[in-house]
Amino acid sequence: MARCLRVVLALGSLALPLPSQTIYARKEKLVESRFIVRYPEGSGERLNEYVARLENIPGIRRADALRRLDMAVVVCEAGADEDSVLQAIDADKDVELAVPDSWVYAFGADAQMCSANPGCRALNLQGSCCPASDGARMACCFAKPQKRSTPQSESTISLQSVHGGYITVSHFGRVGWRGKKTDPDAQIQLEAHPDGYVSLRSSHGTYLVTSPSGHLVAWHRGHRDADDWEKFKLIYNTDDTISLRSKVSDKHVSRDNSTSDMLSATTDRVEISERFMVTMTHGKDTLVPNDPRLSKLWAIDHFGDRDMDAVEAWKMSSRSVTESAQPVVVAVIDTGIDYTHPDLQESMWVNPNEIAGNGIDDDGNGIVDDVHGADFANNDGDPMDDQMHGTHCAGTIAATGNNSIGIAGVAWQGVRLMALKFLTSTGGGRTSDAVKSLNYAVAMGAQILSNSWGGSGSSSALRVAIERSEHAGVLFMAASGNDGLDNDEVPNFPANYPNENIISVASTTQKGDLSAFSCYGKTTVDVAAPGSDIYSTIPGGDYASLSGTSMATPHVSGLAALIWLYRPELAVSQVKDIILRSTVPEKSLENACVTGGRINARRAMGLASIYPAPRPPIHAPKQVLFADINPGVGRIGGSVIISAPDDQSDIEYYGVHFLSSAGVLMESIGKANVSGHKTLSIKLDNLTIPLFAKGMAAVAANSSGRMPVTAAAVLEIEDYGVPEAGPEDVSFGGDADPVAGKVGGSIKIRRACNERTVSHYNIYWQHASERGDLLGSVPAIGYLSPSCTGDCSLLNMSYENGKHLYHRDAYGNNELAVITFSGPATVKITSFLTESYYDYLKIAGTQISGTDLELPKVIHVPRGDQTLTWLSDHSEGEGGWSLELWQDGEEARFALPSSRLSSADIKVVSAYGRTELSSEAMSCPINDFDANSMPPSRAYLPDSVEFNDENVEEGVISGAIKLRLPEVRLQGIVSSYRVLLADKAGVEIPGFSWTKDLDHETTDTVRVQLPGEGLQVPDAAASVVVHAVNPSGVSAATKSTKLMDIVRSVPVFANFSGDEDPVENQIKGTVTILPAANPKNIIAYTVYLSTGDQKVSLIGRVAARQPGVVRYALHAAFRPGQSLMVVSSYADKDMEHGVVIAVEDFVESFAGYGWYGWGGYGDSTRNSGVTGGNRRLDRGGRVQEPWLKHDRKPGAGDVQPLWSATDSRTLPLPVSNAGRMPLGNRQGIFGTVTIPGFLKPIKLQTDGQDQFVPPSVRERRIIGEVLSESLPGVQHGQVKLTLGRAFKDASALPGVGSDQPAVRVMPRAASLVVDFEVLAPRLEPEALQQFFDRVEAKLILLSGAGAATARLSSALAKRLEPLGYQFAAGFQVFMGEPQQVTPKTQPGRLLQEAHEMGEASKKQHVQTAWTTSALVFLMSVAGWAAFLAMAVGRARRIKNGSEADAALESVQVHNADRATG
């Protein structure tokens, strides 16, 4: 399957490789393969035709058009050969490129990841250390921000000594301890400098100076700007105080002596006298809302002057924002948003054409109840955050301000947050779902897209989608990454795409330095913003501090919104230019980003105020007319007629656009130049209606711009389309009107198997061959009947009484079947036994695996297209499953009102709008019922019949048969019901019938009690059948239900082998079970923990087998006094009682240390619920993370460099300091291939480390040639192997477990990991881009470990066998994700130094960061580069800002439980 592109949210600290993520992604890929198909821009009018062609390609199950982006998402059939599908798609001349789908991941680290780690200790790191994804690089969390409010510009601070007095400055220059904080002499302005120091300016206009003797004075020194004598380093102490250290004396400021009130900078250490408490006083140039936790937002407002000056910007923009009629919509593309959070609910975007909670797609955009956005991870309209990351980002952007609650966002009024969820609770998501999110955001009117995620692999599909959002006037914010690496050398995407509408963001700390985790890039990262210890909203109405470039990016998104609220007429390029040109320079950032600075809202507002405004036309067209004549559903054709205004003097042309349901202009349909005529015409031919489009708008435009959509001439589009399917069946439920000559009742319509082109069904009287009067209509619901792809022949499938039955027993290896259907639906799992985690059912996003499932399990499936997937890998035991599927609305009902019988038939026709598909109409007869002379009609039968056998003996039944009566009048029409037993053919079994008379007070349900305590039932009995009876006879129609003889039997015997686990409160061993005496219908035996004969918690389940004993191995948490209980499990329930087994907990201890604390099981706390190492047991004894059992953390000693690009045996190529990426100013594409077990050790070193022989020149040439042959359009010699390493343990490779197939047969073999570059051929720029995009697409496919990778592996093995290499069956190489790198040459990336904006320009500095957390590298190019460059990279990190000793003094170590981003 297409390999999952790893993208990471910027959350928390860098984390060790999560085998859970690694294997999870690998398993996910096997479930559903997708491609993103690109068509040339402007293809919208033919997109439906293209999609139809795609769906005719063998191996493709479905194709969905993304009309806003001129793309389509293709879903392959289960088990399809993706390489063949890719070739077939690319063979279509209209296809620009097909790109395999990929996966993205949140840069998230939960609290469990942030535990103590040996690697942190080995590197002498301090703080809350979280290991990185490659297991080598480490990073530490930063100190908590000060909890004080802060002055900026006209705002001031007062510095109070811990001894009581305030620092004061007299008018003649004396600095000492005196006064109160309200004393003007105690008011000091703090000015920050780019070199990391600050100056203190008194109310008299003088700076505090360190004299040559060390005393502090405040002199007028004859210069405007502060020099080194007037600079101090701010030291943030752990007790929320600060200290000052003079730059020239390198000493701390303190009281001169105990008797003096003078200050001097003469002490070496920070003690009591060197500590000051800070009090802030805001100036009149600020606007401070009343939110109680505002002081926690150091990035918004802080006395250290490394914030973004938001309170000053709010003052500048307050009037404009208040009067703004149109809010700015910011789409947060992330894990969703908790839209119920008290600080966010007023800021949420609301879909104007959707009614919340009614279960209907009111605006017709294909998504039900998308009120606040959409969830593309789960294909529904509820983007609720089930992680944390997205809600935190949203709060930074636009948490409601001045509401006396919590905090305030950067743009706390006038912004609406659109929640677009494409990352799941695990932090993972597909690139195709990210593209869908972009499509939705642009169509629904978002101006800013905030993207705090990314990864090491590139995708041309995502790049082009961002490019097309740029054409729609959308700004795309992207986090730079959390790996602490140089993006100029090791790219991160989407931040590294060259699109002009992208702003790539790094992270800074409270001190103004680049955050330790933040990626940077002098040419690839645009700006820096605060990202360390950012306090914001999290789900559940709470707040927390997180760190990362994920936290920095929302600050820039909020600033862009603030600018647009202030100047709504500005263009995208102008807003970006303002943000980049208004940054505050910082020495520590001059090599970290293009601007060399940190964002500043006050400067941005000032710069925005002087930008010239465009002058679009003010005269609008009077009217626009259009009538569709194209019969295709979803396509239109005809002529658009525009009525021009009387005055066209300011108009150059008229543009016609689709209009979204949100009132947003979408893609252009056509253009008509002003001609002087009063009407103009634009012809449309077979044009596809984009998703979300509901209307058409004609706007006037000139070279300066186009008029706003509010002034456009608009109309609603009526699509003239013909349905493609009719109803499957139509039946009449019987005449419910007892009067002769009149009929009434229910018409049952079995919907079309696919209602994609059906809007409703029309019901008519049918007169012979002529259609009569219209009786009414029934709406379509988007119904899709179940269909299966993949290994469907292995499943037992049937349909019975409105439910679909699926069963798989004794399954084998590598099975994959995918069933597609529509919700809402209900799935009931009646039996389930699979290998834990590796073999599973996935039902509408819910994954089920293992043997410990509480049965029956009912899953309610939401509305929309859904999938049910069965997957097995290498099966390790017999098992299977059974389930039932009901679809709501499979059968529509139309209530035929009581009326004179007009015809003997009813006809039902499917329709789309006003067009019907008469050729597929269905009819049914209408029979009149006369109660005076006829037996009851079908309408008087019970609605349902139920029987539950209460006797557990085989062949004996007892209990009551329940009849739910119909909602019609029965009195005088039905006198009784006759109930009988029948065989499989429906023939009555003599001697087994009963009559239930109806009285005048009959309730909704009647019961027919079977005689005696038990009734011997004949073997032929198969069903319970009911007839309705009246004086005229017995009804011919019947209602029936299946007869189930319930049998229950407990196991004959069970015992426990004895506890093999020496740890207290844990047991391990084997339960041996002798099957029940009557095993009929037993599907499994289930083991519970119990107290006596009362079940406590489920441990697991083992399949029932006959004959012979059954064994179950368990490892579970255990409490004194508990026992084991084994019960029989049936399809409908587990028995309440069974065999109870006494258990003794074996405990062994050792003198000195014992089992606890060494990493085996548990720790010194002896908590039975959690164990140490790579395994965690819950109270039920289930292994929570079984995928961890094969993986280990790689160490630096596992890697041996073999050769580099400058090796004389290879073509020399320029490489980065990391040893890999030759970027420069040229375009390139890079990849990584891992060949497990390829290398042979030559000797064993005394330290136990093997050395490995580098591949020969011939072997390297073969590798390069095989890679060339696997890539489209690549010739021999175009693939250059730039770097080679030996990895000494394949089981420790990211994403490669120890259970992978063996390779070269030799002891201690190592894996060869090779970085390569695909060199560009000599082509024109457009053709060259197409070449690189196709190569990238194939490399993504190869990284998926599917059929294409298997073919490459086979080709490589075949070429190497003559050289003496032997490969085992199943040998496979591993491809990393590709990185396509394009130099960023747009004007916005090459900005000169920012405009000067007064004295404040001297006070700023920038930072860059994603959230601390790991990119999931998975052998990606960036991962290996980072691994080898770890030591150099951390030393090379931008360190121009502050001296090492000062930095060490300012570091605060966080508690282990500190929340991280």
Higher pLDDT, 1157 or 608: 608
Task: Check whether 907 has a pLDDT greater than 70.
Answer: yes
Tokens of 872: 């097995």
pLDDT, tens digit, for every residue of 162-207?
777 888 888 888 888 776 767 888 888 888 888 888 888 888 888 8
Task: Check whether 2 has a pLDDT greater than 50.
Answer: no
Distance CA 1409, CA 1432 (A): 19
Residue 1417 one-letter amino acid = F
Q: Counting Cβ atoms within 10 Å, is residue 1175 exposed (0-12), middle (13-18) or buried (19+)?
A: middle
**Average pLDDT for 671-686:** 92
Residue 1397 one-letter amino acid = M
Q: How confident is the model at residue 497 (pLDDT cuts 50, 70, 90)?
A: very high
Give whichever of 813-822, 1248-1257, 1283-1292 has the largest mean pLDDT. Answer: 813-822
| pLDDT of the residue at 494 | 94
Burial letters for 1184-1208: b for 16+ Cβ neighbours within 10 Å, e otherwise?
eebbbebbebbeeebbbebbbbebe
**Which phi and psi angles does 245 have, rounded to 5°?**
-125, 125
| pLDDT of the residue at 678 | 92
**Average pLDDT for 648-654:** 93
Catalytic: which of 83, 334, 791, 1250? 334
What residues pair up with 823 in beta bridges, in sequence order? 864
Place of tokens 């919700």: 823
**Average pLDDT for 608-635:** 88
Place of tokens 């990073």: 139
Distance CA 597, CA 589 (A): 6
Q: How confident is the model at residue 1145 (pLDDT cuts 50, 70, 90)?
A: confident
Task: Check whether 1177 has a pLDDT greater than 70.
Answer: no
Task: Check whether 141 has a pLDDT greater than 50.
Answer: no
Under the phi-then-psi rule, with left for phi > 0, alpha for psi from -120 to 50, and beta for the rest, what region is 125? beta
pLDDT, tens digit, for every residue of 299-338?
998 887 888 999 989 988 765 554 445 899 999 999 999 9
pLDDT, tens digit, for every residue of 845-857?
788 888 777 778 8
Q: How confident is the model at residue 634 (pLDDT cuts 50, 70, 90)?
A: confident
Average pLDDT, the chain: 79
Higher pLDDT, 139 or 1230: 1230
| pLDDT of the residue at 926 | 92
Tokens of 1249: 């480390």
| pLDDT of the residue at 616 | 86
Distance CA 899, CA 894 (A): 14
**Which phi and psi angles does 1180 have, rounded to 5°?**
-85, 0
Task: Check whether 95 has a pLDDT greater than 80.
Answer: yes
- Full strand arrangement of the beta sheet holding 97-100: 60-66, 71-76, 34-38, 97-100
**Average pLDDT for 1249-1265:** 86
DSSP state at residue 273: G
Task: Check whether 1441 has a pLDDT greater than 80.
Answer: no
| pLDDT of the residue at 1217 | 31
* 786 close to 779: Cβ distance less than 8 angstroms: no
| pLDDT of the residue at 1427 | 37
Distance CA 633, CA 756 (A): 9
- H helices of 847-988, in order, are none
What residues pair up with 962 in beta bridges, in sequence order? 946, 1007
**Average pLDDT for 1263-1267:** 94
Q: How confident is the model at residue 708 (pLDDT cuts 50, 70, 90)?
A: confident
CA atoms within 13 Å, Cβ hemisphere of 1461: 40
pLDDT, tens digit, for every residue of 940-965?
999 999 998 888 888 899 999 999 99
**Average pLDDT for 441-455:** 92
How crowded is residue 840: how many other Cβ atoms within 10 Å of its Cβ?
Answer: 22
Q: What 3-state DSSP class applies to 203? A: coil
| pLDDT of the residue at 1080 | 83
| pLDDT of the residue at 507 | 95
pLDDT, tens digit, for every residue of 718-735?
998 899 999 999 999 999
Asked which of 684-693, 1024-1033, 1384-1393 is least confident by mean pLDDT, the reply is 1384-1393
**Average pLDDT for 3-21:** 34
**Average pLDDT for 437-451:** 93
- Has 550 been annotated as catalytic? yes
Place of tokens 């690839």: 524
pLDDT, tens digit, for every residue of 1353-1403?
989 999 998 988 888 777 889 888 898 888 765 444 333 333 333 332 333
Higher pLDDT, 136 or 685: 685
Q: What 3-state DSSP class applies to 1199? A: strand
What percent of the chain has a predicted confidence (pLDDT) above 90? 38
| pLDDT of the residue at 1392 | 32
Distance CA 530, CA 511 (A): 10
Task: Check whether 1004 has a pLDDT greater than 80.
Answer: yes
Task: Check whether 992 has a pLDDT greater than 60.
Answer: yes
Catalytic: which of 282, 302, 341, 389? 389
Distance CA 941, CA 1028 (A): 6
* pTM score: 0.64
Catalytic: which of 532, 550, 557, 746? 550
pLDDT, tens digit, for every residue of 27-70?
333 456 888 898 887 776 678 788 888 888 888 888 888 876 78
DSSP 953-1022: STTEE-SEEEEEPPSS--TTT--EEEEEEE-TT-PEEEEEEEEEE--TT--SEEEEEPSSS-EEPPTT--
* 401 close to 291: Cβ distance less than 8 angstroms: yes
Distance CA 124, CA 788 (A): 56
Asked which of 307-316, 1172-1181, 1434-1443 is least confident by mean pLDDT, the reply is 1172-1181
Task: Check whether 114 has a pLDDT greater than 70.
Answer: no
Tokens of 1426: 């980072």
| pLDDT of the residue at 813 | 83
CA dihedral sign of residues 1160, 1163, 1166, 1167: negative
pLDDT, tens digit, for every residue of 346-405?
999 999 888 998 888 888 888 889 999 999 988 899 999 998 999 999 999 999 999 999
| pLDDT of the residue at 106 | 54
**Average pLDDT for 840-868:** 85
| pLDDT of the residue at 384 | 95
Task: Check whether 512 has a pLDDT greater than 50.
Answer: yes
Give the residue among 33, 577, 452, 509 at the shortest CA–CA distance from 236. Answer: 509
Q: Counting Cβ atoms within 10 Å, is residue 970 exposed (0-12), middle (13-18) or buried (19+)?
A: middle
pLDDT, tens digit, for every residue of 723-773?
999 999 999 999 999 999 999 999 999 999 999 899 999 999 988 778 888
What percent of the chain has a predicted confidence (pLDDT) above 70? 80
* Cα end-to-end distance, the chain, whole Å: 32
Tokens of 217: 């004075």
| pLDDT of the residue at 103 | 67
| pLDDT of the residue at 896 | 92
Higher pLDDT, 824 or 23: 824
Task: Check whether 779 has a pLDDT greater than 80.
Answer: yes
Give whichever of 314-328, 816-830, 1124-1138 has the largest mean pLDDT. Answer: 816-830
